[in-house]
């Protein structure tokens, strides 16, 4: 990886480490900036958008927030494609240019949430340039989409879960492994793929599966069931890992991302074989568990605790669709009774 020079004053670094995206990764540690204000100001005059991106990515990786660094790298690559590799100064970021960038993204058949993802990261980097006095804020993002659109249906009902479980698949195929991992997530109350990747035999304590959610730091305890064991027994793994997600030691993050893409391709093929009218991903397992639990009249607070949510409001997002369907069914009964 090329060396990246970080050009920040002490005040700017303090602003950076207090940013909500990195604050949790830094903890109570202290850092010292060796560049003088004079040198930083001199260099700032030459700073470009690509360089600002590189600085942000370097800082995220240095302070242990590699996942956020990867999202910024993805946004940088997208913006570089739009610019055909030609760098640009912050002062040249205009509303017209951002509209052109949005058209470029839409022409690549990206959904609006993905467009917003790239725009919001680019806006964060631009705001950093404004904070550093590299440009005045010309509000270049005022005419592009930076919101969050309602997503397509993510949950599938219990009959579909049963069809997925019973679908004849070739043993050892990508599709068979994808199904196993999907079902394991469903069996474990919608465990996320990143948490599944980290599981080892140490997480099984007696007849319980105990792990800490990567997203919230909350400890989750689940009854270890025979159906979970059946999936684990089908695979040979390394370093006592329970599931075949990380197959080699070293650069685990890369192996995780490759496996995630492979599994989602397998799930896509399963959806095609079953002629499902909605996408099938690992995240569907989590939403589906919540909706199936709600359909079985399990109380909301129990579902929320089971999923490791900090608030029942979050759980409501998962099961909102089910509530709408129940209302529609009730309305149909009323209409048909006339």
User: Residue ranges per domain, the chain?
Assistant: 10-131, 158-284
Please name the residue that has the structure tokens 């599931």.
243
Structure tokens at 233: 């027994």
Per-residue pLDDT in tens (0 to 9) along the chain, 338 residues = 444 545 555 555 555 555 544 444 444 444 444 444 444 444 455 799 999 999 999 998 888 787 788 899 999 999 999 999 999 999 999 999 999 999 999 998 888 888 999 999 999 999 999 999 999 999 999 999 998 765 555 788 889 999 999 999 999 999 999 999 999 999 998 898 989 999 999 999 999 999 988 877 788 888 899 999 999 999 988 888 999 998 776 677 778 888 888 999 999 999 999 999 878 988 888 888 877 877 777 776 666 666 665 555 555 555 555 444 554 555 555 446 54
CA distance 329 to 85: 54
Q: Is 241 helix (H, G, I), strand (E, B) or coil?
A: strand
Pick the closest to residue 73 from 13, 134, 1, 12 (CA basis): 1
Spell out the residues 6+ positions from residue 130 whose beta carbon is closer than 8 angstroms to its own: 90, 136, 137
CA distance 79 to 337: 57
- Give the Cα-Cα-Cα angle 305, 220, 289 (nearest 5 degrees): 55
Q: What is the per-residue DSSP string for 187-233?
A: HTTS--HHHHHH-BGGGEETTEEEEE-TTT--EEEEE--HHHHHHHH
């Amino acid at each position: 990886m090329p060396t990246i020079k970080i050009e920040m004053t002490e005040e700017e670094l303090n602003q950076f480490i207090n940013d909500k995206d990195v604050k949790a990764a830094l903890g109570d540690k202290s850092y010292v900036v060796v560049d003088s204000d004079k040198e930083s100001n001199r260099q700032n005059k030459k700073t470009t958008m690509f360089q600002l991106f590189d600085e942000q990515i370097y800082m995220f990786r240095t302070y242990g927030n590699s996942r956020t660094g990867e999202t910024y790298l993805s946004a940088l690559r997208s913006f570089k494609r739009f610019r055909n590799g030609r760098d640009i100064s912050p002062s040249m970021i205009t509303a017209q240019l951002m509209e052109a960038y949005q058209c470029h993204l839409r022409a690549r058949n990206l959904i609006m949430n993905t467009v917003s993802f790239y725009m919001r990261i680019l806006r964060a980097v631009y705001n950093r340039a404004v904070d550093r006095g590299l440009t005045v804020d010309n509000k270049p993002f005022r005419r592009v989409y930076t919101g969050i659109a309602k997503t397509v249906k993510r949950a599938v009902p219990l009959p579909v879960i049963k069809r997925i479980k019973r679908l004849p698949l070739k043993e050892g195929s990508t599709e068979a492994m994808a199904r196993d991992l999907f079902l394991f997530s469903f069996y474990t109350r919608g465990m996320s793929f990143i948490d599944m990747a980290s599981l080892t035999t140490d997480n099984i304590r007696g007849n319980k599966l105990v792990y800490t959610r990567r997203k919230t730091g909350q400890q989750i305890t689940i009854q270890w069931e025979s159906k979970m064991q059946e999936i684990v027994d089908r695979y040979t793994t390394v370093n006592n890992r329970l599931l075949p997600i990380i197959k080699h030691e070293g650069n685990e993050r890369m192996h995780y991302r490759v496996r995630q893409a492979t599994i989602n391709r397998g799930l896509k093929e399963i959806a095609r074989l079953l002629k499902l009218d909605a996408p099938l991903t690992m995240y569907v397992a989590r939403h589906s568990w919540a909706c199936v639990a709600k359909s079985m009249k399990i109380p909301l607070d129990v579902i929320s605790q089971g999923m490791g949510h900090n608030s029942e409001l979050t759980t409501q997002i998962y099961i909102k669709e089910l509530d709408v369907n129940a209302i529609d069914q009730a309305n149909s009964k009323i209409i048909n009774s006339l």
